[in-house]
Amino acid sequence: MACVYDIAAFGEPGSNTPAILDAALDEVDRIDRLMSHYKPESPLSRLNRGAAAGAIAVDPELFDLLARSFDYSRDTAGAFDITVGPLMKAWGFFKGHGRVPAATELADVMRHVGYRHVVLDRPARIIRFDISGIELDLGGIAKGYAVDRVVALLQQRGITAALVSAGGSTVYALGHPPGNSAWEVKIQDPVHPDKIALTVALTNRAISMAGRSAKTFEANGVVYSHIMDPSTGRPVQGVVSVAVTSLTGTDGDALDDALFVMGIERGRSYLRHYPSSTAWYWLQNSTGPRILRRP
């Protein structure tokens, strides 16, 4: 999934905790093989290649996450959309260097973007695309889903205290470390990477981060990030980073991108659907994070 997974866990002396952690990392590899759009042999890649020609039966686990992704798309009015793969390619973020596409090229690409082009038969777990050129990219949610799967495996194997991180972009705190009431997760300042912007205490919760520092390029004095606004086909401007707490890594992974695209005012309204969540925004030219708490 183009990142390093880290797990810190506490187990009883003499327990098989190392073997459990190996199994947890194997679970991440399994999900990557199932859901990667970089691997041509993955079920997701096969779906992308064939669903425009006709309906395809989809692995139940993959189907369920795809269906959940489209629920997020509907609920966010398209701010979260896993069909932005063609946009990522047009802007040079898919195995390449950044570039600004011509207006005519962008208009053509936008014809192949939009979650409504994906038709799901939920009882039968089959999917088809209503036009060619649609590509599904789970990069905005699969890492958080993998974190949740790892946490579930750890719990099933008797681990009660662990910190699971997907490249630092989604982190789940299971229980709390011995002698402390919570795990402390430090958030890097997106403007000054050598500084810590804030420290969040977490217990049985996740925190996810979306930021333009991960993949950017500059052209004609403008910095472009890899986070696309599906409604315009262009990288979001004005927002530098978003961090959000959530009950699950899957929710957090989808929420951080959606809130990044929505901006503060729409984000504040949408966050009412997640009353236990808190979000922080770092805006361009701002001196510190803006915080959105539950109403």
> Per the domain annotation, does 114 fall within a domain?
no
> Per the domain annotation, does 112 fall within a domain?
no
> Per the domain annotation, does 165 fall within a domain?
yes
The lowest-confidence range among 21-25, 65-69, 128-132, 218-222 is: 218-222
**pLDDT tens string 37-52:** 889 999 999 999 999 9
The lowest-confidence range among 118-127, 238-247, 280-289 is: 280-289
Q: How does 116-143 read in b/e, with b if 16+ C-beta sit within 10 Å?
A: ebbebeeeebbbbbeeebbbbbbbbbbb
- What is residue 282's predicted lDDT score, i.e. its pLDDT? 94
Which residue range is the domain that position 168 belongs to?
160-292
> Per the domain annotation, does 25 fall within a domain?
no
> Per the domain annotation, does 260 fall within a domain?
yes
Mean pLDDT (the chain, rounded): 94
> Per the domain annotation, does 118 fall within a domain?
no
- What is residue 294's predicted lDDT score, i.e. its pLDDT? 55
Which ranges in the chain belong to alpha helices (H)?
A: 17-35, 43-50, 60-75, 85-90, 103-110, 142-156, 249-270
**pLDDT tens string 206-241:** 999 999 766 788 999 998 999 999 999 999 999 999
Instruction: Provide the number of structural domains found in the chain.
Output: 1
> Per the domain annotation, does 238 fall within a domain?
yes
Q: What is the CATH number of the domain that holds 177?
A: 3.10.520.10
Query: Residue range 161-166: average pLDDT?
Result: 98
- What is residue 295's predicted lDDT score, i.e. its pLDDT? 46
> Per the domain annotation, does 107 fall within a domain?
no
